[in-house]
Amino acid sequence: MFDNFPLWPARASTGAGNVDALYVFLLLLAGFMCVAVFTMIVVFALRYHRKPGVEAEQIEGSTPLEITWSVIPLGIFLVIFAWGAVIFFRERTPPRGATEVYVVAKQWMWKLEHEEGQREINELHVPVGRDVKLIMTSQDVIHSFYVPAFRIKQDVLPGRYTTMWFRATKPGVYHLFCAEYCGTQHSGMIGQVVVMEPAQYEAWLGGGAASGSLASNGQNIFQQLGCPTCHRSDVQGRGPNLVGVFGKPVLLEDGRTVIADENYVRESILSPAAKVVSGFKPIMPVFQGLVSEEQLNALVAYIKSLSPSPDEAAGDKPQQPKD
Amino acid sequence: MATAAITAEREHYLNKEYGIRSWLLTTDHKRIALLYLVSITFFFFIGGFFALLIRLELLTPAGDMVQADTYNKLFTMHGMVMIFFFLIPSIPAVLGNFLVPIMIGAKDLAFPRINLLSWYLYIIAGVMMLYCIVTGGVDTGWTFYTPFSTAFSNTNVIEAGLAIFIAGFSSILTGLNFVVTIHRMRAPGMTWSRLPLFIWAHYATSIIQLLGTPVLAITLLLVVFERVFHLGIFDPTRGGDPILFQHLFWFYSHPAVYIMILPSMGVVTEIIPCFSRKRVFGYHAIALSSIAIAVFGFLVWAHHMFVAGISLYSALIFSALSYLVAVPSAIKVFNWTATMYKGSITFSTPMLYAFGFIGLFTMGGLTGLFLSALGIDVHVTDTYFVVAHFHYIMVGGAVMGYLGGMHFWWPKISGRMYPEWLGKFAALIVFLGFNLTFFPQFVLGYLGMPRRYWQYPQEFQVLNVLSTAGSTILAVGYVLPMVYFLWSMRYGKIADDNPWGAAGLEWKTTSPPPTFNFEEAPEVTWEAYNYDQIPAPAEVPLER
């Protein structure tokens, strides 16, 4: 009915309701404050309109009043802050075991690749009820991945990964927008998120012409680039053994410790000398400019697959159908 | 009409000298204020013209009126012109320039030649900006985000950056002049707690101009250097960090919002007591809240960057601090409202603008609470919700205050009255047009329409049509005052020295004031806003 004049966005993720709840609270609060202030102004303006022979009554001010109308708003503000922070904390903390989709943004398209190897452009297919984590980077300028129906947005930066996650709740087709101005066709850098019932989603996954999973592609690239020469799976290699490393703390040559996350793996491939693992020499060649973002994603997925998470090790994560 | 005849013959700053030289080489702060008035009005209509083209393009979902690149240049140059060449100089350089010395009982600003220099810097910057526009424009958005601005845009980024760099020095010099003037040149008896709150607001503004603008200057120079020499400061492929740019940019550009809104708050704080015939409620609270806004305003910049890739914890801290800066703004709104209580209120044009200011600023401020809430910001940042929010503050707030101030002090500046009924009519048109333009954008934003979109999905059209309709009404509201102000300079009724029965030293001198502002050096023996000692005008002037 309101196809051409909607007043409220579709709500299609587990997080969207939380955002809407705070938004409605703020609308009511703001509405109340507006009505209160405007009513006072109108009432004063009419009640104290100039009348012959009636002088204004001079009032200096009132410290108790000043304190009251400073402290009460501050209290309300802190409640809003805490409420907003709780929602944000949840939005920023991907659940363990989420399905991962790699996103590469470029002027002016979205390229997405599923763990199973399916590739999409400007479209993202996801099943209802599964946690999906997006691992995103940009080939050129800053973009921003925005799905209004999920109430989430995250800038996508060149040179590093940013992540976001969601769990879709309602099948349908939803807008995907680029929300950070990125040049000529910024407003054309749009697409759709297709939320499907799990069965349909499995059918969709099976129907694509995926050439092996992302991790297995990564393994091929790993071989082609000659990485196994040094990164051997025993302790004899000139480079660190990569099995079981992902997600764990790594002691560096300079004494610092970092978590081996996506950004660390990425940086260690592109500029290996930045954070050298303790006990190793900075002899690895620089791969900046030699691997594409897609290849990099595959490599990260491969290295990640060498360190199965506890959930996956227990085997309760559905494995993709293999040909 | 004997007084009128005398006023017409009396020597004042406008008729003391004639000829183009007497204007271009003047060091009189009042004449420099008028130079600024003409220049910023010129840029206001250029920026407004771009705004109308933007709104016309958005009338339909398809990108059909201008090319995508043209559209991107339009919103970029609309932002740059309106912010750096209209809003930031607007009240300080025109009303502040005219009034700061008179209000404190001084003959001129502390550095009259530097004052003229700041106008010339503004003009050089303005000419560079115009050159940048006519030779192809710039398409980075007024925010210059890297690496788009440094490595990808093929437009006049360097020209625009240098124009704004130079405009910044004009702003710094104005701020410096005000700070020194307010400290050193107050008349005998004009203590800090007798200063009009307009002066407190300008003092706070000047502090921000002095401390914030150099950071913008450095940032823009880095952008230019990065573009020319490929330094790699912001370029990730050379080990740089594009987010560093955003930190530097917003460190100035968030406080810059307060450069625009604080002087407007100062104007409103003069108007409301006058037309309520009352001492302002909570003088010290309002004065301190101006300083608090200037100080806290420097601590909240990263609330523009919640989804930019900053850490969870810095987002939490900047969200909390953003709520702190909302408190002094709330204090001001409550004090203005309380000032009206038990007053003797009349609805002259300036008062209507003050009402409009409070209404629109309150809505802008309240929607700021939405944006500071992390969970909401993630959804609405970079959408039309933000566009609506900052227009409510910067146009609804700052421009309403500017127009209110222009109407309030026009009799002093020009020595003439404007037609009151037209003034009221225009104020109403501006208020209605503004709300019709920008209120639908809040709805659009929550629906998810991103900003800076040349074309958009069909379902957003109805709200966009409403907004475009509003913008044409708003345009009429802005053209009207310019027309009748010009008309009044020749045909307006001669103004009394104090047509509103207002407190403040500027009303104790003649209209227009003599070159050195006062015939005799004033000595202040009364408190600010002593409306109990000033008779209201016998008839409310011009309500005839």
**What are the DSSP calls for B251-264, one per residue?**
HHHHHHHHHHHHHH
Show residues of chain A in contact with B333, CB under 8 Å.
37
State residue A314's pLDDT score. Answer: 44
Question: Is B64 a member of any domain?
Answer: yes
Nearest-by-Cβ selection for A159 from B237, B334, B341: B237
Which backbone phi and psi does A63 adopt, to 5 degrees?
A: -60, -45
Q: Which residue has the tokens 């440094």?
A: B150
Let me know if residue B157 belongs to a domain.
Answer: yes
Burial of A173 (0-12, 13-18, 19+ CB in 10 A): middle
Reply yes or no on whether the pLDDT at B276 is more than 60.
yes
Which residues 84-113 of A are in CB contact (within 8 Å) with B?
84-89, 91-92, 107
- Closest Cα of chain A to B263: distance in Å? 22
Q: Are B430 and B403 in contact (CB under 8 A)?
A: yes
For residues B171 and B11, which has the higher predicted lDDT (pLDDT)? Answer: B171
For chain B positions 325-364, those within 8 Å of chain A (CB to CB) are 326-327, 330-331, 333-335, 337-338, 340-347, 355, 358-359, 362-363
For A92-190, where are the alpha helices, taking DSSP H only? none
Closest CA to B323 of A69, A78, A28, A66: A78
Q: Is residue B3 part of a domain?
A: no
Nearest to A21 by CA among A169, A151, A145, A193: A151
pLDDT of residue A208: 63
State ipTM.
0.92
What is residue A305's predicted lDDT score, i.e. its pLDDT? Answer: 87
Domain count, chain B: 1
Q: What is the mean pLDDT of residues B233-237?
A: 90
Across the interface, which of A9, A23, A148 has its CB nearest the CB of B376? A23
pLDDT given at position A289: 83
**CB proximity B282 to A under 8 Å:** yes
pLDDT computed for residue A318 by the predictor: 42
Compute how many other C-beta atoms are within 10 angstroms of the C-beta atom of residue B175. 25
Give the pLDDT score at A229.
85
- What average pLDDT does range B504-525 have in this prediction? 93
Q: What is the pLDDT of residues B46-58, one digit of tens each?
A: 999 999 999 999 9
Which pLDDT score, from 0 to 100, does residue A310 have? 58
A315: which 2 tokens? 């085997």
Rounded Cα gap, residues B111 and B123, in angstroms: 19
Average pLDDT (B14-31) is 93
The predicted pLDDT at position A306 comes to: 87
| Cβ(B157)–Cβ(B138) below 8 Å | yes
Determine whether the interchain pair A88/B374 forms a contact, defined as Cβ–Cβ distance below 8 Å.
yes
* Domain span including residue B212: 21-507
DSSP A192: E
Confidence of residue B9 (pLDDT cuts 50, 70, 90): low
**Which residue shows structure tokens 């108007």?**
B271
Q: Rounded distance, CA B172 to CA B297, Å?
A: 17
Low-confidence ranges of chain A (pLDDT < 50): 1-2, 313-323
Residue A137: helix, strand or coil by DSSP?
Answer: strand
DSSP structural state of residue A238 = S
Percentage of chain B exceeding pLDDT 90:
92
The domains found in chain A, sorted by start residue, are 7-52+94-211 (2.60.40.420), 214-309 (1.10.760.10)
Contact A48 B458 (CB under 8 A): no
- Token pair belonging to B46: 């250029």
Separation between Cα atoms, residue A188 and residue B146, nearest integer Å: 20
Average pLDDT, chain B: 94
- The CA angle A142-A143-A148, to the nearest 5 degrees, is 150
The residue with greater pLDDT, B264 or B6, is B264
How far apart, in Å, are the Cα atoms of A228 and each of A30, A220, B14, B105?
A: 61, 11, 84, 81
Radius of gyration of chain A (CA): 27
Domain assignment present for B475: yes
Q: Tell me the per-residue pLDDT of A162-177, one tens digit each, with 9 for 90 and over.
A: 999 999 999 999 999 9
DSSP state of B416: B
For the segment B436-472, what is each residue's pLDDT rounded down to a tens digit? 999 999 999 999 999 999 999 999 999 999 999 999 9
Is the model's pLDDT at B213 over the cut of 90?
yes
- In this predicted model, what pLDDT tens digit does every residue of B103-118 receive, in sequence order? 999 999 999 999 999 9
| Chain B contact for A175 (CB, 8 A cutoff) | yes
Which contacts of A258-265 are long-range, i.e. CB under 8 A and separated by 24 or more positions?
Answer: A262/A135, A262/A161, A262/A163, A262/A300, A262/A304, A263/A160, A263/A161, A265/A299, A265/A300, A265/A303, A265/A304
State residue B539's pLDDT score: 56
Would the CB atoms of B341 and A48 count as touching at under 8 Å?
yes
CA B345, CA A266: separation in Å to the nearest integer? 67
The residue of chain B nearest to residue A52, with distances taken between CA atoms, is B344
Q: Give me the CATH number covering residue B287.
A: 1.20.210.10
Of B285, B340, B448, the CB nearest to A175: B448
**B6 assigned to some structural domain:** no
Q: What is the mean pLDDT of chain A?
A: 89
Residue of B374, B392, B531 to mutate for A, most A C-beta atoms under 10 A = B374
Instruction: Quote the pLDDT of residue B81.
Output: 97
| Closest CA of chain B from A123, distance in Å | 16
* Exposure on the CB side of residue B277, measured as CA atoms within 13 A: 24
A212 closest CA partner among A320, A68, A134: A320
pLDDT at A311: 53
Cβ of residue A154 closer than 8 Å to a chain B Cβ: yes
Tell me the CA distances in angstroms from A53 to A49, A56, A60, B28, one per residue in order. Answer: 12, 10, 22, 43
B363 CB neighbours in chain A (<8 A) are: 30, 34
Our CA-based measurement puts residue A71 at a distance from the nearest CA of chain B, in whole angstroms, of 8
Tell me the per-residue pLDDT of A201-245, one tens digit each, with 9 for 90 and over: 998 888 766 678 888 888 889 888 888 888 887 767 788 888 888
Q: Which residue of B has its CA nearest to A6?
A: B459
Q: Residue B345: its pLDDT value, please?
A: 92
The answer, for A229 touching chain B at a CB cutoff of 8 Å, is no
| A169 close to A128: Cβ distance less than 8 angstroms | yes
Confirm whether B304 is domain-assigned. yes
In the predicted structure, residue B102 carries a pLDDT above the cut 90? yes
